[in-house]
Amino acid sequence: MVSITEQTAILAKYLDLPQNGKILAEYVWIDAEGNTRSKCRTLASSPSSVDDLPEWNFDGSSTGQAPGHDSDVYLRPVAYYKDPFRKGDNIIVLTECWNNDGTPNKFNHRHECAKLMTAHADEEVWFGLEQEYTLFDQFDNVYAWPKGGFPAPQGPYYCGVGTGKVYARDVIEAHYRACLYAGVTISGINAEVMPSQWEFQVGPCVGINMGDELWIARYLLQRVAEEFGVKISFHPKPLKGDWNGAGCHTNVSTKTMRVPGGMKDIEVALSKLAKRHKEHVLLYGADNDLRLTGRHETASIENFSSGVANRGASIRIPRSVAKEGYGYFEDRRPASNIDPYLVTGIMVETICGSIPDADMTKEFARESSD
């Protein structure tokens, strides 16, 4: 059987070769299925800003983003990061997808989200996302689980230490360092409740940067996992039965929530969120109904709830926030497979106010349009 792990030791001698002043730029975009895609181009010199990066294009008919008779989709750079794989002056470029008629591609949710973030920039909205995910082997079995069987019940795995309690720590550590090198605001990692399920946290990030950095962190995770022959699943309920699902808990605060007396502003935000529960859930990830059952540290998808230190509520107020009277809140409803632009966008729309030329629920509906 051919090994699917990459020959990084052999590759290293080629990565050490001089590039004669050229820069490799890996352009990353989001496809029709909510996965990242990428391809590389050579630049004559290092960019001094994102405006120096050229627009590019790709075959959208091969990614579900355009018909075959009109397949060119344009890549417009919006941010760039240091490349932890090629290193040196090489970069990873995050892009938006645009149609040839000058309109954003229907799977480009960043454009609408950015409008809301710009309109409410004075609110200084901070986000922190807790990205959970599950590891699988090349045969689509949960990584390191007994062949044809199951590990012991949940209990010893959350933040576990030791053989038989945690798996693939090397993958997770490699990803952590790759994010730090790239400039992603990764703030922590931990093993999760189900064995071979992990979490990393990104933030605090302001406005549109939250979505940008989570997408790049996901891309880096997939790239790191390639080298270890491991598959990454962001499905919110990758395994049926008495096993925890995977979420992307979303921590939120405005500048008025972060100062003494801010609890009043948090309570106002919660009342607004309660009135738009259905609209939010619609944007909180596919198959999230399999996860939000009221069990396994989740609230029911049917009803909105909130509580102090309650991990079975839609919104959790941390105990420290309730005690001090200011801080942030955690929306526990978003699934692990969310588009962070949709989630952060509708959050700002709900708690800070809508604007005339952006509507996140209509934005999401564009995906299913012809």
Q: Cα 316 from chain centroid? A: 20
Token pair, residue 56, equals 């590019």
Distance from the first to the final alpha carbon of the chain: 43
Peptide bond into 204 cis (omega under 30): yes
DSSP 361: H
Give the pLDDT of residue 366. Answer: 81
303, 293 in Cβ contact below 8 A?
no
Give the pLDDT of residue 358. Answer: 85
Residue that is written with structure tokens 């390191």 in the block: 144
Q: Cα 94 from chain centroid? A: 13
The C-alpha atoms of residue 272 and residue 267 are separated, in whole angstroms, by 9
For residue 118, give Cα distances in angstroms to 112, 115, 163, 352, 358. Answer: 10, 5, 48, 12, 11
Choose among 17, 132, 24: nearest CA to 84: 24
Give the pLDDT of residue 2. Answer: 58
Percentages of the chain per state (helix, strand, coil), in multiples of 5:
30, 25, 45
Give the pLDDT of residue 5. Answer: 80
Residues ≥6 apart with Cβ < 8 Å to 41: 24, 25, 27, 56
The C-alpha atoms of residue 100 and residue 67 are separated, in whole angstroms, by 12
The C-alpha atoms of residue 68 and residue 84 are separated, in whole angstroms, by 35
Alpha helices in 183-290 (DSSP H): 209-228, 263-275, 277-282
107, 97 in Cβ contact below 8 A?
yes
Percent of the chain scoring above 90 in pLDDT = 91
Side-chain half-sphere CA neighbours of 273 within 13 A? 26
Residue that is written with structure tokens 């932890």 in the block: 84
Residues of the chain with pLDDT under 50: none
Give the pLDDT of residue 370. Answer: 59
Give the pLDDT of residue 1. Answer: 54
Beta 315-317 vs 306-308: how paired, if at all?
parallel
Q: Which amino acid is at 139?
A: F
Degrees, nearest 5: CA angle 33-38-42: 160
Residues ≥6 apart with Cβ < 8 Å to 171: 135, 224, 225, 228, 230
Q: What is the pTM of this model?
A: 0.96
295, 312 in Cβ contact below 8 A?
no
Give the pLDDT of residue 74. Answer: 98
